[in-house]
Structure 1
Amino acid sequence: MTRAALALAFLAMVYSTPTAASEQLKIGGDGLEWESNSLVFNALEVTEDGGLSPLEADPEENILPRIKELGGSATTSVRTAAARSNQIINELIDGSHTTGWRVYTNPNGAELEVDMGAIFVLHRLYFRRGVLNDDERSLRGYEFYANDGDSLNFIGGNPVYALIAQDRSHGLPELDLSFPPTKVRFFRLRSTGERGFQMGDLEVFGVGVTPFAQFISQVIDLGEAANFGPVDVYGRIDGAAQAQFSTKTGFVATDSLYFRQTGIPGELEEVALADFDRTLDPSYAGVVLENDRDWSAWSPPYAELLEASIHSPDNRRYLQFQFKLLSGSLLDKAVIDSVVFNYTVPSLADSVIAEISPTTATLGRENEFTYHLRSVVSSGNRGFDTVIIHTPFAARATGVRVDGVEVDNFTTASDLGRLQVSFPDQRITRSGQEVAVRFASLVTVSGTEFRGEVADSQSDAFPQRVAFGDAAEEAADNTLVVSARIDDELFTGVVFSSAVITPNGDGINDQISLDYILLKATHEVEVEVVVYDLSGRPVHRLYQARDRSGPNQVSWDGRDADGVVPPGMYLLRLKAATDAGIATQMRSIAVVY
């Protein structure tokens, strides 16, 4: 699909510095309009204050006149009417009894099929009479079918219908059909009578919020490659409703690739959009494919909608976003007030390549690594003096080299999951410069990725993500992923703070701490610690919770549910079930008082 780039005529807040421009793009609210900047605007309406809301049906209002603006349509299977099938929707809503669905010959099996253009929850169908003075010209028997628009309910691009209601003896002048609220995108009305009929206007009634609505923006041209800051989506989401927000970014203005036939069967050649002839039959024109060469795929839906890091690659000029609004119930809906993108231009570099070495580590221990980076910086781009490495746990930097020379005056900051190293006196401003950051980090899961960014401490530019690749000759694997050197342990570092508990209240060894490092858990897993006596009888379930990989600690004060346990030897069993299997470790502890 051709997607014209949205020009840079948007509201932008610009903060000028000698080297940076921090900008803000806002759609909705007091920003750009939703509909005029949309590529897809399905089952939506704009609220009075500029928000984006799914359609909500009035049980007493006929929906059918709205389906044309939603891209809906109606067709009839009667061949004599085929020439005007594309006009049938107009005849069903024009308010005249002299037009509508009219079948004069072979009425048994005649069908009227309607595409609502969006999914609605319908509960009533009302077909007005087409002849005012002859009750014999009404629909004689019918079957009513519906399809909810779910992609699973299609075969070969055609909807699969489910029977909702039928009456083979119907003979009233008008058809007034009520049925339980049903999700409907397509419906089919089939005549089962043997006499011709003339029906007039068709009215369709729904209830509640449309189950699914979608907005896709036009392609947004940011003017030049940008680094993205936080994305903020403001709105209101009722209990069962969902707002699924996704993004994609690209290097070029169109996210499609065009290929035309060469004349040789099965052979295609890529051409520019201007050279692709859409007037030809598709079998002669060629094909249009998604441009996954110059564009990223749609990101997974964002888990957070405020202060969210963009999930699509940065350092790109073009941006597109979409919302999928799911109601979840008849009354709940998601309303989007506005979406705000923060970004800076130009980007810090044309690109920054990174890789890590070594690419194997001992799980459960602190390992030494080197993070290699190589810059590609063209004229006019700012450069950088800070490296940010995303680590699984708090890490520490041990050294920095720039172009092979040790940097003595670097600064470092570390917290859980992030190591930042700055070297402002050795700022990277040229292509081909190399940076090596040595650091130590605990690794507990094989396949840990050390994602990275570069930043500029001398401006307000947003950080730029690195791309994995060949950054240094001494690093051979061109990756940021570290695998495990051992594969037979799920726990390590299992130690007690003391081998004895003396729960007498004197403040000395009144309780002990059990420290352990859980390995290879790619998500939270069930961990339990149970105290047993020497006969194997459970004395106290000390701990049962879901833990992540990494260091953990459990304490015991020598008590069970009834108070202090009798003096003696006890066993503590530590057990976890991870993706790599079930692990159990036992340790003995003495209770003395």
Structure 2
Amino acid sequence: VNHGWIKNAIINLGWELPINRIRVFPRPSFEDNFLPWFELGVASGSAPIIDRPSIARRGQRWFYEISRGLTAKNDPIIDIIESTTENLDVVVDRRFPTRPVKWVTLRPINPERTWEVAELQVFGEGYVRQTVYRTDILDFGRPVAWSKIRWEGAEPEGTRVEVRTRTGNTEQPFRYSRKQRTGQFASVDRREYNDVFNAVTVADPFSSGSTRGFELVKKEVDTENWSFWSPAYDFAAGLRDATAPPSAWTDGATFLSKSPARYLQFEVLFFPTGETAPRIERIELLFGDSVADAVIGEISPTVTTDFQPHTFTYVVRPILREGNSGFDRLEIATATRVERLLSVKVDDAEVGEEFLRDIQDDRIVVGFDKLVGSEDTEKRIEVVFEVPVLRFGQKFTGFAFSSDDPDIRQQVEEGNATLRFSTNSLSVKTPRGGELIGELKAIPAAFSPNGDGVNDQVLIQYQIRALGNSVPHVLTLYDLAGRVVRRLETEPGAAGVYEREWNGRDEAGKRVPPGTYVYTVKVEADLGKQLNTGTVSVVY
């Protein structure tokens, strides 16, 4: 090897891997050509290095050229594992704590004689920090209504899986464009975009010189025809229930991406620990013919000034054509229980009481004569109800479906459903800040848990406000001396109305003496901590 060679030999492992050992050695019978003076370095996948020197990327670069000077420094982006001019080992075998590595570099330091490297070996153990799998774009031949998604797999403690989807109605989700002499961007195909983007230099349309290719092209999501990637699905909610018949689809998570759509793409991200990895073995989808070309909805009002119940009007405008299966049910997710369902109208006519009006803890479902075909297109459905909104930006997601096939549900899209409102939104804003816990009360304020079947229990009710993610909240009862009488932990929950019953017994199951007891509700969240208190009386 040329004695003057002092540059890095660079190895791209292709992905960030957990590495803890590197070996370097010459050919057998050529041991005298071992490397006495070298720098061994590594860099992680987060280092701003492009994959090869012949391309250009914004914010990234190739490794620096190293000068031939005796004191030439290595590229500062490299983390040096070892630098020596006194190595006597024919086989360089270096071990170090396991670390994420994408790049390995080996540089001779001012070589004074012939040297060689016949083989460089890289060893590691454990799982990579992150793995991303993205499917090809799947074509289902026609727009379909996506209803549910589920999977089989495991998410051990400390690991995480994120499943995301996006849908569209064109063959690919991006628009490509190139800057013209006018300064405007004109559409180009994917091949031309890649050729220009990857070019280190191209002709500058505004001068006789050249510029970097990525400065002249744009790649944007085609938001008219494709959705953005969905939020990550809740892993536990999407797990297949092995005890239920697969065809029943009583399990699975609601599909989050826009529907109906012809094209679908999955992205799955795995976040292991060093020794344990999550897994997904299969993904299944529930879908069917679209109930409508589109179901557009909006709500009014979209702002409340407090956390008390307010009256909301929810309007849906379906776009129907021949071939759509139609629908006779509308479900509206309300997060908390609706206090009153005031009105249901279709095309300004009140729907009779004989049709379904189902108020559940976190949603309402209403029924009406089936809307199907072009003769029913644009017939507005209007639902008026009274409910408290406890979280800022709460979205009243809606689903249209047929009672003949309730598993195939088409999500309501935000948009212009009526000229009466200008909200074009399904989200409601509440006051920011304020208390996390509200409306704390005991019903009744005094009870007699003597086992006679009358007034034997107290219902403690409270609101959790402003929380988008589930957090634990704990209800604890004390006597007036401050001793814990009973602790009632609830399942983790987000914003909503919660109720817990107390039967007047302590942790040992014994009836408590008559008197006044203090109860507290405690919430700890990213927004802060809060503890609210109240009292209840036990009488015999």
- Tell me the TM-score normalized by structure 2: 0.76
Q: 1:219 to 1:528 in 2, by over 3 A?
A: same
Rounded to whole Å, the distance in 2 between the matches of 1:485 and 1:118 is 46
- Paired position in structure 2 for 1:106: 4
- Asked if the contact 1:513–1:556 (Cα under 8 Å) also holds between the matched residues in 2, the reply is no
Map 1:93-492 → 2, pairs under 5 A = 103-107=1-5, 109-130=6-27, 132-133=29-30, 135-150=31-46, 156-157=60-61, 160-195=77-112, 196-235=114-153, 241-264=159-182, 266-273=183-190, 278=195, 281=199, 283-284=202-203, 286-293=216-223, 294-304=225-235, 305-306=238-239, 307-330=252-275, 332-345=276-289, 347-361=290-304, 365-395=308-338, 397-408=341-352, 409-425=354-370, 427=372, 429=374, 430-459=376-405, 462-484=408-430
What RMSD in Å do the two structures reach over aligned CA positions?
3.7
Letter in 2 for 1:106: G
Q: 1:144 to 1:410 in 2, by over 3 A?
A: same
Q: Deviations over 1:277-324 (max 9, x none)?
A: 827946446314132423222223322243222232221221111223
Map 1:51-66 → 2, pairs under 5 A = none
- Asked if the contact 2:414–2:426 (Cα under 8 Å) also holds between the matched residues in 1, the reply is yes
- Paired position in structure 2 for 1:54: none
Q: 1:543 to 1:145 in 2, by over 3 A?
A: same
**Which has the higher mean CA deviation after the structures are superposed, 560-569 or 380-389?**
560-569
**Which has the higher mean CA deviation after the structures are superposed, 418-427 or 462-471?**
418-427
**Cα distance, 1:128 vs. partner?**
3.4
**Cα distance, 1:508 vs. partner?**
5.5
Any idea what SS the aligned residue of 1:198 has? Answer: coil
Rounded to whole Å, the distance in 1 between the matches of 2:295 and 2:425 is 13
Rounded to whole Å, the distance in 2 between the matches of 1:486 and 1:260 is 43
Q: Deviations over 1:394-426 (max 9, x none)?
A: 336443211111221421334332322121355
Map 1:13-92 → 2, pairs under 5 A = none
- Asked if the contact 2:324–2:373 (Cα under 8 Å) also holds between the matched residues in 1, the reply is no
Rounded to whole Å, the distance in 2 between the matches of 1:228 and 1:132 is 66
**Cα distance, 1:232 vs. partner?**
2.7
Map 1:490-505 → 2, pairs under 5 A = 493-500=439-446
Q: Deviations over 1:220-268 (max 9, x none)?
A: 112122211322333455665544322211221122222123124x432
**Cα distance, 1:210 vs. partner?**
4.2
- Asked if the contact 1:121–1:184 (Cα under 8 Å) also holds between the matched residues in 2, the reply is yes
Letter in 1 for 2:137: V
Any idea what SS the aligned residue of 1:443 has? Answer: coil
- Asked if the contact 2:504–2:512 (Cα under 8 Å) also holds between the matched residues in 1, the reply is no
Q: 1:171 to 1:246 in 2, by over 3 A?
A: same
**Cα distance, 1:544 vs. partner?**
6.4
Rounded to whole Å, the distance in 2 between the matches of 1:559 and 1:233 is 42
- Asked if the contact 2:49–2:61 (Cα under 8 Å) also holds between the matched residues in 1, the reply is no
Any idea what SS the aligned residue of 1:248 has? Answer: strand
**Which has the higher mean CA deviation after the structures are superposed, 566-575 or 176-185?**
566-575
Runs (5+) with no aligned partner, structure 2: 51-58, 64-76, 204-212, 240-251
Rounded to whole Å, the distance in 2 between the matches of 1:473 and 1:268 is 35
Letter in 1 for 2:386: A
Rounded to whole Å, the distance in 1 between the matches of 2:278 and 2:474 is 37
Q: 1:478 to 1:583 in 2, by over 3 A?
A: farther
- Asked if the contact 2:475–2:521 (Cα under 8 Å) also holds between the matched residues in 1, the reply is yes
Q: Deviations over 1:155-213 (max 9, x none)?
A: 73558322223443114444333444333211111212532412223333333444443
Rounded to whole Å, the distance in 2 between the matches of 1:558 and 1:126 is 68
Q: 1:360 to 1:202 in 2, by over 3 A?
A: closer
Q: 1:502 to 1:471 in 2, by over 3 A?
A: closer
Rounded to whole Å, the distance in 1 between the matches of 2:269 and 2:411 is 27
Share of identical aligned residues, percent?
24
Rounded to whole Å, the distance in 2 between the matches of 1:178 and 1:488 is 55
- Paired position in structure 1 for 2:498: 551
- Tell me the TM-score normalized by structure 1: 0.70
Give 1 or 2: higher strand fraction. Answer: 1
- Paired position in structure 1 for 2:249: none
**Cα distance, 1:475 vs. partner?**
2.6
**Cα distance, 1:473 vs. partner?**
2.4
**Cα distance, 1:591 vs. partner?**
5.1
Rounded to whole Å, the distance in 1 between the matches of 2:138 and 2:461 is 52
**Cα distance, 1:439 vs. partner?**
2.8
Rounded to whole Å, the distance in 1 between the matches of 2:102 and 2:121 is 15
- Asked if the contact 2:42–2:80 (Cα under 8 Å) also holds between the matched residues in 1, the reply is yes
Rounded to whole Å, the distance in 1 between the matches of 2:270 and 2:256 is 19
Letter in 2 for 1:290: E
- Asked if the contact 1:530–1:538 (Cα under 8 Å) also holds between the matched residues in 2, the reply is no
Rounded to whole Å, the distance in 2 between the matches of 1:483 and 1:231 is 29
Q: Deviations over 1:542-580 (max 9, x none)?
A: 546466531323536286989777766666566667748
- Asked if the contact 2:477–2:517 (Cα under 8 Å) also holds between the matched residues in 1, the reply is no
Residues paired across the two proteins, number? 482
Any idea what SS the aligned residue of 1:194 has? Answer: coil
Q: 1:287 to 1:352 in 2, by over 3 A?
A: same
